[in-house]
């Protein structure tokens, strides 16, 4: 399996130390692949001792399957759990079974299992209608969609006149026109006669100038854009529109969201596997915000391949969590004149701006809670240094809704 897309990430307690190979009740034993060297097996570990059953047994079965066990012992589907948890368990269990039985070892099956075992209903995964009713799935889709993200009257008013300029004179004329408009806004600011909305107008015009430059003089010439090229362009757009209080996905030391950007050369299962990893990363962020004290913590993440991408939300949905798209269309950055016309007429810029606005709204309360918690810990530590040491309580068993399976630890942009 490809290391970049299929390796399971590191945890804390080795599976081999907590789970024997045989099942004492059934008398069955795991069938292992002896041809796989232990040194080459994935050295994956989990917090097994802190995970409740039957999720612990299912997690162990997943790790064994990835490490080369042909037929790991599969725990039965539980009957004493809520219907949504049961559906996620069944989906994860079937994915593991399909993975072990498929000769091609489809990595996406492992990734889908890991998402479901993190208590997330992923609407991007195929076959979820086999486990959830259509009514339930439709309710999940409706919960994720943000129709207001697709509309922004101020952006529409700024872009509408630019469409006419593009039709009359092409991209070069539009580029010069945008520079002139930016100059007018700057002159008003310098003269102290700035109009309401001038700051936002300047932001949108900066985006348009950047896109025109990308089309007229792409930094990568006639070659295909690299991941670094794409990252630079998306970062430029985000930087022009976002508040100064946040980066692309953080506010100070508080992580607000994660966006993964890949080159357009990536195809096949790589972007799909990337989505499953990113869903778990954003679920980790959502969980951290909850623990920080953010009420109704909802995280909006994104996956981008080249200049085409989409945003999705991870939020509470009954007793589980749901991941689904926030808009009906994918967003994009134009790379030629024809695409620029669609961009001016479309919803991409509104969705991008509203995504950044949501991050900014989340940043203030999250940062305040983080600072307050830091102060509380500092005060506690101060007193503990001069008083008797507190006894560390034993770890508590975690419910599925509090755990993100095999929390990813790879460095991300």
User: Helix, strand, or coil here: 125?
Assistant: coil
pLDDT value of position 251 = 60
pLDDT value at residue 38:
44
What SS3 class is residue 323?
strand
Are the C-beta atoms of 90 and 77 separated by less than 8 Å?
yes
For residue 90, what pLDDT is reported? 96
Q: What confidence tens digit (pLDDT) does each residue in 154-186 have?
A: 999 999 999 999 999 999 999 999 999 999 999
Q: Assign 42 a pLDDT band (cuts: 50, 70, 90).
A: very low
CA angle 305, 310, 315 (to 5 degrees): 130
Residue 120 in 3-state DSSP? strand
Higher pLDDT, 158 or 42: 158
pLDDT range class, residue 300, cuts 50, 70, 90: very high
pLDDT digits (tens, 9 = 90+) for 87-120: 999 999 999 999 998 776 788 999 999 999 999 9
Sorted by sequence, the CB contacts under 8 Å of residue 210 that are 6+ apart come out as 233, 236, 237, 240
Task: State percent of the chain over pLDDT 90.
Answer: 50
pLDDT at 34: 39
> Could you tell me the pLDDT band of residue 307, with boundaries at 50, 70 and 90?
very high
Residue 314: count of CB within 10 angstroms of its CB:
28
């Amino acid at each position: 399996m490809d290391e970049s897309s299929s390796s399971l990430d590191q945890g804390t307690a080795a599976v081999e130390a907590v789970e024997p190979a045989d099942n004492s009740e059934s008398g069955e034993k795991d069938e292992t692949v002896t041809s796989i060297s232990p040194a080459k097996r994935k050295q994956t570990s989990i917090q097994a001792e802190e995970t409740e059953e039957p999720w612990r047994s299912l997690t162990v079965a997943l790790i064994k399957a990835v490490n080369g066990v042909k037929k790991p012992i599969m725990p039965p589907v539980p009957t004493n759990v809520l219907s949504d948890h049961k559906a996620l368990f069944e989906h994860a269990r079937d994915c593991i079974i399909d993975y072990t039985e498929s000769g091609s070892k489809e990595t996406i099956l492992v990734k889908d299992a890991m998402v479901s075992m993190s208590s997330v209903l992923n609407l991007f995964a195929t076959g979820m209608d086999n486990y959830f009713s259509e009514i339930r799935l439709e309710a999940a889709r409706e919960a994720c969609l943000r129709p207001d993200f697709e509309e922004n009257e101020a952006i529409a008013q700024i872009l509408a006149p630019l469409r006419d300029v593009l039709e009359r004179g092409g991209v070069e004329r539009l580029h010069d026109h945008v520079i002139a408009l930016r100059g007018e806004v700057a002159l008003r600011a310098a003269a102290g006669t700035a109009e309401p909305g001038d700051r936002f107008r300047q932001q949108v015009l900066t985006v348009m100038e950047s896109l025109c430059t990308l089309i007229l003089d792409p930094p990568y010439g006639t070659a295909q854009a690299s991941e670094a090229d794409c990252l630079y362009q998306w970062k430029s757009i985000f930087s022009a529109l976002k508040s100064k209080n946040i980066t692309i996905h953080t506010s100070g030391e508080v992580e607000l969201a994660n966006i993964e950007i890949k080159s357009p050369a990536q195809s096949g299962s790589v972007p799909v596997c990337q989505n499953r990893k990113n869903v778990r990363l954003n679920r980790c962020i959502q969980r951290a915000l909850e623990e920080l004290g953010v009420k109704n913590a909802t995280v909006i993440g994104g996956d981008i391949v080249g200049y085409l991408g989409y945003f999705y939300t991870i939020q509470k949905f009954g007793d589980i969590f749901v991941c689904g798209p926030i808009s009906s269309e994918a967003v994009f950055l134009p790379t030629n004149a024809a695409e620029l016309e669609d961009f001016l007429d479309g919803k991409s810029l509104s969705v991008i701006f509203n995504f950044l606005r949501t991050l900014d709204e989340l940043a203030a309360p999250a940062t305040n809670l983080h600072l307050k918690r830091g102060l509380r810990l500092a005060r506690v530590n101060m007193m503990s240094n001069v008083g008797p040491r507190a006894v560390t309580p034993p770890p508590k068993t975690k419910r599925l809704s509090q755990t993100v399976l095999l929390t990813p630890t790879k460095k991300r942009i």
